[in-house]
Structure 1
Amino acid sequence: MTPGRSAPGRNTPGRLPVAGAAEVRRATLRLVRADRRAFAAMLALNALAAAAGLAGPWLLGRIVDAVRAGQGVAVVDRTAPAILACAVVQLLLARWARYVGHRFGERTLARVREEFVERALALPAAVVERAGTGDLTARGTADVAAIGTTLRDAAPELLVNAVQALFVVTAVFAIDPLLGLAGVLGLGPIWWGLRWYLRRAMDGYLTEGAATSEVAESLAATASGARTVEAFRLERRRTAASRDALEESRRTRMYTLRLRTVFFPVVEVAYVLPVAAVLLVGGVLHARGVLSLGAVVAAALFLRQLAEPLDRVLMWVEQLQSSGASFARVEGLARSSGTAAPAACAVEPADDRIEVAGVRYAYAPGGAEVLCGVDLTVRPGERLAVVGPSGAGKTTLSRLLAGVDTPGAGSVTVGGVSIAGLDPERLRRQVVLVTQEHHVFLGTVRDNLRIAEPAAGDEALWSALAAVGADGWVRELPEGLDTELGGEGAGTDGSQAQQLALARVVLADPHTLILDEATALLDPATARHTERALAAVLRGRTVIAIAHRLHTAHDADRVAVMADGRLCELGTHDELVAAGGAYAALWRTWHGEDAGDPGPEPVADGAAPSGTAGGHAAP
């Protein structure tokens, strides 16, 4: 599975990286060391099987010499059973070696799958978002499957036949060094063809893998946005995009196919050259009395016997190049999960104060900055609303506060500790970001809730559901908390998925909650009920609301106004309205003063307006 040269552009910005040749070699050795006993047994059994296979040609050469010496047919009768016995021993040893090899391959594949899942789950959300789910899906399916085929089939076959080929060449040299040299020189065209193929195959298969990821990404984007495609009549455009991706995939596959159509015919023709070379050189040596006829026959049979293992080795070369590229793509996740985020910090935050100091951020290296030198302090227990026009940087700031992204310059800390440096478990106890996008995982209601708190009992789960007003519909499910969701299980609509997400927040019990229109998908009545329930849950916690509706800002302790990636105003609602700046203009527009709008309709006592961060009632 070790690749040849590094492919150009193997770590394209925005895509998940691909491991280099040295990284793949280290990963391969790590997997071998993890099951070294089975690997050593496979080597030993293959060596014994190869040694047993050498006995047949050698004994046949002895028969030829004995018959020429006039010993008669009796020598054939004595030697033939030995040849048969050696063939049976070789068969049994080879079968045992393949059995051990397949078990080694399955165990190693299990380790590869487990590592892939661990690394995929450890990937920062920002990395997955920029790379797209198609690439990750292709690596977890097609690439892991290719590795499995190699570990289960190609690796044992390759090892068996490589050892056999090595023993055969050694046996020819043992008969006579000149015959061995003639045989090796006859293998020259095969060596040339192999080098020509290897120099091109790895890059070709890496490009093919990237094209496959693009196809998966295009199909996933079209499927997930099917309603949008239909609404805006984008069917032809999406079909054209998919066809372009498929055409690129076809082109890359045709390139690797052309490589094989050159490589394999050269190899097939070259198989006869070593045998011919040995017969020519052996004939000359026999004519001069240097070698017996039996030795020449044995050497020719050895090299003829070389054709089968060598043919199998070369046939698997294509699979090895393909799986080598797949292994490089799978192993590349280690680079993303290991270097995309700072090392986890072992220091506990001193308190719950959040400090944003000189933060700058751009979504692409060298790209335009979305945040430009933002400074902000969020006090423990404070309700802060972040407002501003679209594109001002509000959501980007929320992602930095939640540790989803890491600032390009400056720092975001909680209690003096970098938020991005906290390990996931500790970060979840500190800050949780809740957006409009929620996911219901395959599994029971209980499984979906325990993502936030694995040790939570049923009483805690029901309390969390009641806090967000979801206990009613969950109790109506056929098996309550044990009801399967998603797939063939019970379906959930957008508001129910959002309530499950908010229940997870209750279970996670963070000291700081960042809300980015977290109740936007709920209907007005459910939203008011949920926000009223959350008001009690969130009391005493720090709440940062990305306010797209200014009622949230009206009820907040302070308002941070963003514009063009900068924090341009900070203060209470009344202070900012009195100042007559950017916030006052937003408030007048929202309140309808410019348009003669009478303003928002009153809210019932105790109910928060839709979009209110902390759920506090409007005065």
Structure 2
Amino acid sequence: MTAGPTTTEPSRLPVAGNTAVRRAAVDLLRGDRRAILVMLVLHAAAAIAGLASPWLLGMIVDKVTAGAGIGAVDRLAVAIVGCVLAQGLLNRYAQYVGYRFGERAVARLREEFVRRTLGLPVSVVERAGTGDLATRSSVDVNMVGTMVRDALPVVVISSAQLLLLFGAVCLLHPIFGVVALVGLPTIYLAVRFYLRRARDAYLVEGAAMAELTETLTTTAEGARTIEGFRLTDQRIHYGTERIARLWAARRATLRLRSVFFPVVEASYALPVAVVLLVGGLFLDRGTVSLGEVVAAALYLQQAIGPLDALLQWMEQTQRGVASFARVLGVGQVPPEPRGGVVVPVDQRLVVRDARFGYADGPDVLHGINLEIRPGERLAVVGPSGAGKSTLARLIAGIDRPRTGEVLLGGCPVTDLDPAQRRREIALVTQEHHVFIGTLRDNLAFAAPESTDEQMRSALVAVGADWYADLPDGLDTELGDGARDLNPADAQQLALARIVLADPHTVILDEATAALDPTTARRTERALGAVLAGRTVIAIAHRLNTAHDADRVAVLDDGRVTELGSHDELLAADGAYAALWRSWHG
């Protein structure tokens, strides 16, 4: 495994390498060193208190064998009770400190994950898909939380207890220390077998889970379209394939566990049996006492608990490490380049010989040349798949052309700082989102400093008449579990955000497609008044939008085939004229 980011598919987000995971784990622990020190001290004290009971019990056996009185035995028994109580209290506070440390560490991890996710380029998020990102933000972060909160303290406790127990056995008699190691070769081989395969197996399982989540999400979101085009059987087959991949990945991890756990558990009883056998031989020779044999056997029996816990949580830790690598992989995606303070000399948009293709595919735009004057309304029309939305993404700076350039005021759009670019150019698509929160919260995303009156004016400007019927006005809760907006209302909410953002250039990529024709026409008229004086590029699916534009660009097979006003293109009797005649029957 390499130290850098790795991934199996170009569309998936990367996975951090071992070196990056180790470095991030050290940084996570270093962030709360005091809590870790307190936790280690408390666990060490609890482990030492736990060592006293077998030793004291061995003393009781020797004193009873020697004919000691009841008083001496009772005092030792009281001491055992005291040690057990002390161990319980120390463990309790050690776990309390450990859990608090774990929650703080996970909180920092979640905050960092959100920060990195919000910094991802839009194009990367779209290629990765919602399933991969959603799985990393929920399943993987929770798995890391379990590892830090639960597994790490157990590993620390168990390791400390095993070292102390082994030391106690060696102090009783060196031969007992040698015998105590008899089960380690088998455990070592089983652990080595497991660790060499576990991380990759759990990474495959995580990727399969992401694919299934993506499939279920897209199927649920597009349920009506699937039913309308009679694609139900196809989606069921597709989902079944993803379930089969996840099941195969989980069977692979299950096979590892089915080898690992039976082998190590079978090795637990071997040291105890050998100590009793060897102890009996030494007892006959008078080399050791009966109490020492009993204490050694109890120590090794007591070691089964922390050893079993350590190996059990080792399996959980492998899951956690794999999830940690997936979480850290989000931060290894290069962020959007943040240029210096670049001030475009004007608001003129120029697309010069721009070519673009997705990933390693062929070009979908072929040498586009356009000049859009400030304040102009340009409509882009053409058949489905002609490249209209791709052109909109290039102009908005979401994607970078393979060759050629897109300039705003003489500056390449993709070289502008992302925040500055979004203030200059706004892209509104058919896709919209209603965030959980109040209507005011949803509008404030576009312009946090907006007043309530400005928000109301923006809603009125886009014809959002439904606002007047809300029970609590701007304080009405929206989203899941509250008031749901239908697609048309949600689209008008998205347009109201654009009014508040107040960019000088607005790209409307079929932004009124979710509205019925009457509402769409009313909204477009309202937007026309609001957007007066701004540059508007409208990807038009209704040709009345093109009729109202200053110029119309006809796109076909990734090329601009016609460019001119509505009347000029009708007079030319070309592709646009044919579309217009078809539109009007």
TM over 0.5: yes
User: Quick one: which of 193, 198, 204 aligns to 1:207?
Assistant: 204
Aligned positions of 1:544-559 closer than 5 A: 544-553=537-546, 555-559=548-552
Residues 550 and 587, structure 1, Cα contact 8 Å, conserved in 2: no
For residue 185 of structure 2, the aligned residue among 156, 173, 188 is: 188
Farther-moved stretch of structure 1 (560-569 vs 152-161): 560-569
Conservation of the 8 A alpha-carbon contact between 2:5 and 2:16: no
- The residue type equivalent to 2:479 in the other structure is G
Structure 1 partner of 2:576: 587
Partner of 2:503: 510
Contact 2:540 2:546 (8 Å CA) reproduced: yes
**In the superposition, relative to structure 1, how do residues 238 and 454 fare at CA in structure 2: closer, same or farther (>3 Å)?**
same
Take 2:344 and 2:19, find their aligned partners in 1: how far apart are those partners? 42
User: 1:439 corresponds to which residue?
Assistant: 433
**Residue of structure 2 in register with 1:361 after alignment:** 356
Q: Which residue of 1 aligns with 2:136?
A: 139
Which residue of structure 2 aligns with residue 167 of structure 1? Answer: 164
User: 1:4-153, aligned counterparts within 5 Å?
Assistant: 10-63=7-60, 75-153=72-150
Deviation at 1:139, TM superposition (A): 2.5
Q: Tell me: CA distance 1:89–1:510, structure 2 relative to 1, closer, same or farther (3 Å).
A: same
TM-score normalised per structure 2? 0.90
TM-score, with length taken from structure 1: 0.85
> Once superposed, what is the RMSD of the aligned Cα atoms?
3.1
Query: What amino acid sits opposite 1:354 in the alignment?
Result: L
CA displacement at 1:254 relative to structure 2: 2.1
Letter in 2 for 1:104: F
Match of residue 460, structure 2, among 466, 491, 494: 466
The letter for the 1-side match of 2:536 is: V
In the TM superposition, what are the counterparts of 1:534-545 in structure 2 within 5 Å? 534-545=527-538
Deviation, structure 1 residue 574: 6.5
Question: What's the % identity of the aligned pairs?
Answer: 56
1:252 aligns to 2:249 (yes or no)? yes
Q: Report the CA distance between 1:189 and its aligned residue.
A: 0.8
Q: Which amino acid aligns with 1:446?
A: R
1:114, CA displacement in angstroms? 2.6
Aligned 8 A contact 1:187 1:271 in 2: no
Partner-residue secondary structure (3-state), 1:335? coil
The 2-side partners of 1:277 and 1:367 are apart by: 67
What code does the residue aligned with 2:450 have? A
- One-letter amino acid of the counterpart of residue 588, structure 1: A
User: For the residues of structure 1 that align with 2:21 and 2:404, how far apart are their CA atoms?
Assistant: 35
Please tell me whether the aligned partners of residues 186 and 277 of structure 1 are also in contact (alpha carbons under 8 angstroms): no
Residue 496 of structure 1, aligned match among 489, 493, 498: 489
1:514 partner amino acid: I
The one-letter amino acid paired with 1:145 is N
Structure 1 unmatched ranges of 5 or more: 601-619
The correspondence of residues 196-275 of structure 1 with structure 2, limited to 5 A, is 196-275=193-272
Q: CA deviation at 1:68?
A: 6.4
Pick from 510, 513, 538 the counterpart of residue 520 of structure 1.
513
Q: Is the 8 A contact 1:8 1:203 kept in 2?
A: no
Number of matched residues? Answer: 584
| Structure 1 residue matching 2:181: 3-state secondary structure | helix
User: Counterpart of 2:154?
Assistant: 157
Shift of 1:432: 0.6
SS in 2 for 1:16: coil
Whether the 8 Å CA contact 1:386–1:560 is kept in 2: the answer is yes
Tell me, what secondary structure is at the counterpart of 1:91? helix
**Post-superposition shift, 1:296?**
4.5
Q: Give the conservation status (yes or no) of the 8 Å contact 1:359–1:408.
A: yes
Cα drift, residue 162 of structure 1: 1.9
Query: Any idea what SS the aligned residue of 1:487 has?
Result: coil
Supply the AA of the counterpart residue of 2:487: G
1: CA distance between counterparts of 2:529 and 2:228?
Answer: 40
Q: Deviations over 1:284-321 (max 9, x none)?
A: 66677765555454333322221110011111222222
